[in-house]
Amino acid sequence: MRNEKNLIAVEGYPFIAVAGFTALMFAVLSWKLPAVFAFCLTLFIAYFFRNPERTVPQDENAVVAPADGVVIYLGKAREEHTGVEMMKISIFMSVFNVHINRSPVTGGVVDTFYSRGKFLDVRDERATFENERAGLVIEGPHGKRIVVVQVAGLIARRIVCYLQKGDSVTRGARYGLIRFGSRLDVYLPGEADIRVKSGEKTVAGETILGYLS
């Protein structure tokens, strides 16, 4: 899978290169303030695309957070693609969070979907249905299916997903990212044992959202 060994996600290289080159040009021209600003921007972009290692829980029934961020919604909801009522957990990622997304469970990708849409603030619940989004339906332990949806936000304009229908993935494996602020919606079976609360911070690949019974 892409970005397994990179300290900085490869999707960030073009942005870092452009910002770094701009800083260098300003420095050559002796434009001090623009050069300092461009240099700081280069460092921030590199920080944004950082790709740290994580310690993934080994319990096969554990569902881990797919993103770093804060739980902004927790409750029952009808998942749009499958039409099934499930337990929904929404995680908001600010521009200061790690933006590499990780698989919540080990299993096979049985379906994928993508919808063009708006770029509302992802803290607005309408974003679930109206924003641009890409989703995976993963069949995990004991045939239980979960759905994870990447939702583009007010600033985010690019969803990246490495997985396709028929692929296999392991819990905590990197599977994509969203550039510059966004949200992840995770749908678990209604009988799942939820272990997080609204307002709780999550760490992708480490925080246990719940257990599949």
Q: How far is CA 155 from the centre of its chain?
A: 14
Please pick, among 90, 94, 182, 198, the residue that the annotation labels catalytic. Answer: 182
SS3 string, 30-97, reads CCHHHHHHHHHHHHHHHHHCECCCCCCCCCCCEEECCCCEEEEEEEEEECCCCCCEEEEEEEEECCCC
Nearest to 127 by CA among 92, 102, 103, 94: 92
For the question of residue 30 being annotated catalytic, the response is no
Do 182 and 91 contact (CB within 8 A), yes or no?
no
* Residues with catalytic roles: 182
